[in-house]
A = this chain, B = another copy of it.
Amino acid sequence: MEINPIADYKGPVSGKFGLPRQAGLAPSVEGKIIFRPGYRQREALRGLDGFEYCWLIWGFSMSETKWSPTVRPPRLGGNERVGVFASRSPFRPNPLGLSCVRIASVGDGEILVLGADLADGTPIYDIKPYIPFTDAHEGAHAGFSDTREWRRLKVEFEPGCGISDCDRKTLEELLAEDPRPKYQYDPDRVYGLIYRGLNIRFRVEGDVLRVISAS
């Protein structure tokens, strides 16, 4: 089946590095769904503002297209393998992502959403309302994602790092999730995250992530 993007996501994080690993992990991240011509019709969104959340079916546009029967989820430290269909990994036969995001407001051909785990420019193929009676299963067993505690970092901003107060909350949510690839433990290494066009530079020592500068 041929599917075509109906919209694009406009968000603060460019590239994969620093993206939340699932929707909702960084609830303050604000982004816009901007419909493409042909789908940009106010009518098509009628009633959506009555819903608190919606589903996005989107394309892993930045991943390789090769899939693998097993993958190594970051949640397991990157060294245990699980089946691709037991994971939300991008390396799937059909590279479709699924995310539940909070609806902040519905505009004319645009939706303002919170908590997305999509990179800026991600193509969106479908949007559906979130319906708790069919979608919500609080407390359902969730295999390996049940069994391990997710290690969060303490985020500190160096004086004079140049980050505005209003960006700090969102950056704190993003960085506390530890964006480093598969447990690199070099405290001298400086990482860079592209956030709203700024290069946010930081180091991690133990459980503390320190933001050095933004330029």
Show the binding face of A for B, using Cβ within 8 Å.
1-4, 6, 22-25, 39, 41, 43-55, 57, 59, 69-70, 81-88, 92-96, 98-100, 125-146
Q: How many copies does the complex hold?
A: 2
Q: A50-B141, A142-B51 are in contact. Are A127 and B44 (CB under 8 A)?
A: no
Contact B52 A129 (CB under 8 A): no
Give A127 to B126 CA distance when docked, in angstroms. Answer: 16
The closest CB in chain B to the CB of A49 belongs to: B143
Q: Most chain-B Cβ atoms within 10 A of its Cβ — which of A54, A86, A127?
A: A86
A57 neighbours in B (Cβ, 8 Å) = 57, 94, 96, 98
Is A144 touching B47 in the complex (CB atoms < 8 A)?
Answer: yes
Verify B88–A129 contact, CB threshold 8 A. Answer: yes
Contact A44 B3 (CB under 8 A): no
Q: How far, in angstroms, from A141 to B55 measured CA to CA in the complex?
A: 14
Alpha-carbon distance A93/B1, docked complex (angstroms): 12
Q: Give the docked Cα–Cα distance between A54 and B143 (Å).
A: 11
A92: chain B residues within 8 A (beta carbon): 126
What B residues does A49 contact at CB under 8 A?
Answer: 143
- A2 neighbours in B (Cβ, 8 Å): 1-2
Q: Which residue of B lies closest to A21 (CB)?
A: B134
